Amino acid sequence: KQEVTQIPAALSVPEGENLVLNCSFTDSAIYNLQWFRQDPGKGLTSLLLIQSSQREQTSGRLNASLDKSSGRSTLYIAASQPGDSATYLCAPVGSGTYKYIFGTGTRLKVLA
């Protein structure tokens, strides 16, 4: 059974800092892995998707890496801004099941 852990659970930083959010998963048989953000009480917004054959993906100030064999993914946020404040979720998609297993998230607060 896939278990997903995200560290840290919460993070509060001043604006402008570079951040690293960690995600680990127990079953490396994944089809892909996706990072989402969730604003309070809202749905999910997709940030980055990494295929199982890829090592990393970049979009603007965001970079996500994937080490499937060790069951780890990292989301790097450069030059953080108050608008980045949200909960960040990682979700590996299981090969054969095609369903997301979500981590408990990292709650980020960027202070102006």
Partner 1 sequence: EAGVTQSPTHLIKTRGQQATLRCSPISGHTSVYWYQQALGLGLQFLLWYDEGEERNRGNFPPRFSGRQFPNYSSELNVNALELEDSALYLCASNGGILVETQYFGPGTRLLVL
Residues that bind partner 1 (CB under 8 A): 32, 34, 36, 41-46, 49, 51, 89, 91, 97-105
Is residue 2 within 8 A of residue 101, CB to CB? The reply is: yes
Is residue 49 within 8 A of residue 37, CB to CB? The reply is: no
Shortest spacing between CB 59 and partner 1, in angstroms: 13
Shortest spacing between CB 23 and partner 1, in angstroms: 12
Count of beta carbons in the 10 Å neighbourhood of residue 23? 25
In the complex with partner 1, the residue whose CB is nearer, 76 or 102, is 102
In the complex with partner 1, the residue whose CB is nearer, 3 or 17, is 3
Shortest spacing between CB 62 and partner 1, in angstroms: 15
Q: What does the alpha-carbon distance between residue 40 and residue 103 come to, in Å, rounded to a whole number?
A: 16
In the complex with partner 1, the residue whose CB is nearer, 69 or 98, is 98
